[in-house]
């Protein structure tokens, strides 16, 4: 009878060939398992990363060493996420190096992971972390009162030193550089007096170092018994017979006594001058005698006072000059100044053309009272108006601008024959803008009418009243403007008197017949 199924023995209990093969496979499996267990047991950290103190911004290193095969690979994780190398934090061998620890990005748990390339076995270290110590400067803020505007009425002042760090730093307060006996980050001032005025600063230190606030705070504590100006009168310029009002208010405890003075004389209420209970001064129908310095005085204590003052003037505006003519050449930069007239208040000045203000930019523009052509053009010819205005009214002055063109001939002088003793004429006519200036020359000397036989007409014609032999010359005519000139020459030929010579022939009759 055959042996029992699956036992690998025959009926007599002896192992069969199939049983012996199964035993061999079992032996190989057990041997391989033993080798794996031996290798796995050989992976262990000889040095694991340790939690440690670190300073923000300083260097640090987490060490990791492993006893085992040489084909090990290492990497690091932070809170379970693999650490990526950067310039600041990178893996150096199996260690993780920090050139500058950062209190924000280097928190959490770091672990070293080792893996065998041959077996694929992985081993993870215990967690390590940094106790990062840091110290960061900040400003001083005023918690009470809410604003500096409320300091005057404040009963106490609370300042806070915004220097933070880990571990919590200890603070020191200073006033004008002198240390105060206060060590908390909150400084409270009560029973305020002028002695509390000054510059307040704060410094703090911990294991990371020592820093001071990056901005200080200045407190100005006023003596409440001394009047402080709330509303100060301002200078005024009004028209004659108008009203003027000056406002003046002080604050103190107790309230001060307010008085007004005009040019050192006390002001009392009367028909045209009234001082109201709130300190306002009202002057009606201002005259020249009303002008001057008005002083508002706050009396306090024993013969102590604080005062502010303002000036009252009557508005005025002087006349401006007469019309001005200017001639420019085309294509050149030109500038015309408008001098403001004397006035109270200082008048505003601007330029207009055809009733419209000249622009503040462009080829023709105005700036600070100057009319500027950059450059001039023939189209710029015309009338410009300088306008000055203030409370007293408006004045103006006209500027007539002519952009000159070069003269062009209409009639040039021509050689002329003149009989002696008779008048002679030479014509010279050119067109331009403006009308050209015409000058006649004889022997290179300008011809004038004064004390001579010459007459110069507005149209450029030259007349010789009674020609003489010596007038037998070449004459030159020059027509010119700011833009250029033209010239021409002509000669006068003097014709002498005609002499009629009569030859008388006396004939005698002879008698052909003689007796």
Comparison of pLDDT for 70 and 82, the residue scoring more: 82
Q: Which residues pair with 57 in a beta bridge?
A: none
Spell out the residues 6+ positions from residue 305 whose beta carbon is closer than 8 angstroms to its own. Answer: 297, 298, 299
- Is residue 77 within 8 Å of residue 101, measured between CB atoms? no
3-state secondary structure 159-209: EEECCEEECCCEEEEEECCEECCCCCCEEEEECCCHHHCEEEEEEEEECCE
Comparison of pLDDT for 16 and 377, the residue scoring more: 377
pLDDT in tens, 446-464: 999 877 789 999 999 999 9
Task: Tell me the pairing of strands 236-238 and 304-314.
Answer: parallel
User: What φ, ψ does residue 364 adopt, rounded to 5°?
Assistant: -115, 120
Average pLDDT score over residue span 292-316: 94
Q: Is the pLDDT of residue 4 over 80?
A: no
Spell out the residues 6+ positions from residue 512 whose beta carbon is closer than 8 angstroms to its own. Answer: none
386: buried, middle or exposed (CB in 10 Å: 19+, 13-18, 0-12)? buried
User: What φ, ψ does residue 485 adopt, rounded to 5°?
Assistant: -155, 160
Q: Is the pLDDT of residue 27 over 90?
A: no
Tell me which range, 76-85, 174-183, 221-230, is most confidently predicted by mean pLDDT: 76-85
pLDDT value of position 110: 97
The CATH architecture to which 44-134 belongs is Sandwich (2.60)
Comparison of pLDDT for 89 and 225, the residue scoring more: 89
How sure is the predictor about 26, in pLDDT bands with cuts at 50, 70 and 90?
low
Whole-angstrom distance, CA of residue 41 vs CA of residue 304: 97
Joined together, the tokens standing for residue 165 give: 């760090």
Q: Which CATH class is domain 317-404?
A: mainly beta
Average pLDDT score over residue span 17-44: 49
Average pLDDT score over residue span 459-483: 93
Q: Is the pLDDT of residue 436 over 80?
A: yes
Local structure of 60: helix, strand or coil: strand
Same fold, 317-404 and 408-495: yes
Q: Is the pLDDT of residue 443 over 50?
A: yes
Whole-angstrom distance, CA of residue 173 vs CA of residue 159: 10
Task: Please state the CATH superfamily assignment of the domain spanning residues 408-495 in this structure.
Answer: Immunoglobulins (2.60.40.10)
Whole-angstrom distance, CA of residue 143 vs CA of residue 186: 9
Whole-angstrom distance, CA of residue 47 vs CA of residue 421: 138
Joined together, the tokens standing for residue 425 give: 């004429």
Chain centroid to Cα 311, Å, comes to 34
CB neighbours of residue 246 within 10 Å: 24
Q: What is the DSSP letter of 256?
A: P
Average pLDDT score over residue span 419-433: 93
pLDDT value of position 511: 43
Instruction: State the maximum Cα–Cα separation within the chain, in Å, rounded to a whole number.
Output: 236
- Is residue 369 within 8 Å of residue 448, measured between CB atoms? no
pLDDT in tens, 363-394: 999 999 999 999 999 899 999 999 999 999 99
- Look up tokens 């002696």; give the residue: 420
pLDDT value of position 41: 45
Domain ranges of the chain: 44-134, 137-219, 228-314, 317-404, 408-495
pLDDT value of position 37: 39
Q: Is the pLDDT of residue 512 over 70?
A: no
Q: Is the pLDDT of residue 28 over 90?
A: no
Q: Is the pLDDT of residue 81 over 80?
A: yes
Joined together, the tokens standing for residue 61 give: 């290193």
To the nearest whole number, what is the mean pLDDT of the chain?
87
Q: Which helix (H) or strand (E) holds 25?
A: helix 17-41
Percent of the chain with pLDDT over 90: 72
Average pLDDT score over residue span 399-414: 94
Q: Which residues pair with 349 in a beta bridge?
A: 388
pLDDT value of position 150: 83
Joined together, the tokens standing for residue 66 give: 């492993």
359 to each of 134, 332, 353, 373, 402, how far by Cα in Å?
61, 19, 10, 12, 20
Nearest to 104, CA basis, from 89, 94, 90? 89
Whole-angstrom distance, CA of residue 137 vs CA of residue 211: 6
CATH topology for 228-314 is Immunoglobulin-like (2.60.40)
pLDDT in tens, 332-345: 999 999 999 999 99
Angle (CA) 97 99 102, round 5°: 100
Q: Is the pLDDT of residue 276 over 90?
A: yes
- Is residue 169 within 8 Å of residue 163, measured between CB atoms? yes
How sure is the predictor about 503, in pLDDT bands with cuts at 50, 70 and 90?
very low
Q: Is the pLDDT of residue 497 over 60?
A: no
pLDDT value of position 462: 95
Spell out the residues 6+ positions from residue 15 whose beta carbon is closer than 8 angstroms to its own. Answer: 8, 9, 23
How sure is the predictor about 22, in pLDDT bands with cuts at 50, 70 and 90?
low
Average pLDDT score over residue span 211-236: 91
pLDDT value of position 514: 36
pLDDT value of position 152: 77
Lowest-pLDDT choice from 217-226, 236-245, 492-501: 492-501
210 to each of 101, 159, 171, 214, how far by Cα in Å?
18, 20, 10, 13
Joined together, the tokens standing for residue 443 give: 């022997």
Whole-angstrom distance, CA of residue 464 vs CA of residue 449: 10
Whole-angstrom distance, CA of residue 215 vs CA of residue 82: 41
How sure is the predictor about 30, in pLDDT bands with cuts at 50, 70 and 90?
very low
Q: Is the pLDDT of residue 3 over 90?
A: no
How sure is the predictor about 10, in pLDDT bands with cuts at 50, 70 and 90?
low
Q: Is the pLDDT of residue 168 over 80?
A: yes
Average pLDDT score over residue span 238-254: 93
Percent of the chain with pLDDT over 70: 88
CB neighbours of residue 6 within 10 Å: 9
pLDDT value of position 328: 93
326: buried, middle or exposed (CB in 10 Å: 19+, 13-18, 0-12)? middle
Q: Is the pLDDT of residue 425 over 80?
A: yes
How sure is the predictor about 42, in pLDDT bands with cuts at 50, 70 and 90?
low
Average pLDDT score over residue span 478-483: 92
Q: Which helix (H) or strand (E) holds 85?
A: none
How sure is the predictor about 245, in pLDDT bands with cuts at 50, 70 and 90?
very high
CATH topology for 137-219 is Immunoglobulin-like (2.60.40)
pLDDT in tens, 56-69: 999 999 999 988 77
pLDDT value of position 21: 52
Whole-angstrom distance, CA of residue 455 vs CA of residue 464: 7
How sure is the predictor about 217, in pLDDT bands with cuts at 50, 70 and 90?
very high
């Amino acid at each position: 009878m055959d042996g029992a199924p699956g036992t690998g023995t025959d009926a007599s209990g002896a192992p069969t060939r199939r049983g012996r093969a199964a035993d061999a496979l079992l032996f190989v499996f057990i041997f391989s398992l033993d080798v794996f267990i031996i290798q796995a047991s050989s992976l262990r950290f000889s040095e694991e990363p340790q939690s440690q103190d670190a300073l923000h911004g300083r260097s640090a290193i987490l060490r990791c060493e492993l006893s085992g095969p040489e084909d090990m690979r290492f990497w690091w994780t932070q809170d379970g996420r693999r650490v990526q190398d950067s310039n600041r934090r990178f893996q150096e061998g199996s260690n993780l190096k920090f050139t500058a620890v950062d209190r924000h990005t280097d928190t959490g748990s770091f672990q070293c992971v080792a893996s065998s390339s041959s077996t694929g076995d992985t081993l993870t270290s215990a967690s390590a972390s940094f106790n990062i110590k840091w110290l960061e400067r900040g400003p001083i803020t005023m918690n009470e009162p809410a604003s500096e505007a409320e300091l005057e009425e404040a009963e106490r002042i609370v300042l806070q030193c915004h220097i933070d760090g880990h571990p919590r730093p200890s603070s020191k307060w200073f006033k004008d550089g002198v240390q105060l006996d206060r060590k908390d980050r909150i400084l409270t001032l009560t029973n305020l007096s002028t002695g509390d005025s000054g510059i307040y600063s704060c410094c703090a230190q911990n294991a990371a170092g020592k820093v001071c606030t990056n901005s200080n705070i200045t407190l100005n504590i006023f003596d409440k018994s001394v009047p402080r100006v709330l509303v100060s009168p301002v200078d005024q310029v009004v028209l004659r017979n108008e009203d003027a009002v000056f406002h003046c208010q002080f604050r103190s405890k107790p309230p001060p006594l307010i008085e007004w003075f005009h040019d050192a004389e006390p002001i009392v209420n009367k028909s045209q001058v009234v001082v109201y209970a709130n300190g306002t001064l009202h002057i009606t129908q201002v005259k020249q005698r009303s002008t001057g310095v008005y002083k508002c005085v706050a009396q306090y204590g024993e013969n102590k006072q604080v005062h502010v003052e303002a000036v009252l003037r009557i508005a005025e505006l002087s006349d401006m000059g007469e019309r001005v003519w200017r001639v420019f050449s085309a294509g050149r930069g030109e500038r015309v100044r408008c001098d403001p007239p004397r006035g109270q208040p200082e008048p505003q000045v601007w330029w207009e053309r055809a009733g419209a203000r000249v622009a503040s930019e462009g080829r023709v523009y105005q700036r600070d009272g100057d009319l500027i052509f950059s450059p001039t053009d023939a189209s710029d010819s015309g009338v410009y108006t300088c306008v000055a205005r203030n409370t007293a009214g408006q004045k103006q002055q006209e500027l007539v601008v002519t952009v000159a063109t070069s003269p062009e001939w209409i009639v040039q002088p021509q050689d002329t024959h003149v009989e002696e003793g008779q008048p002679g004429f030479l014509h010279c006519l050119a067109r331009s803008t403006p009308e050209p200036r015409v000058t006649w020359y004889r022997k290179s000397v300008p011809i004038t009418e004064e004390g001579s036989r010459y007459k110069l007409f507005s149209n450029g014609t030259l007349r010789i009243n009674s020609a003489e032999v010596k007038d037998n010359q070449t004459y030159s005519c020059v027509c010119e403007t700011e833009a250029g000139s033209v010239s021409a020459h002509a000669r006068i030929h003097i014709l002498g008197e005609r002499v009629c010579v009569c030859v008388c022939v006396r004939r005698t009759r002879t008698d052909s017949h003689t007796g």
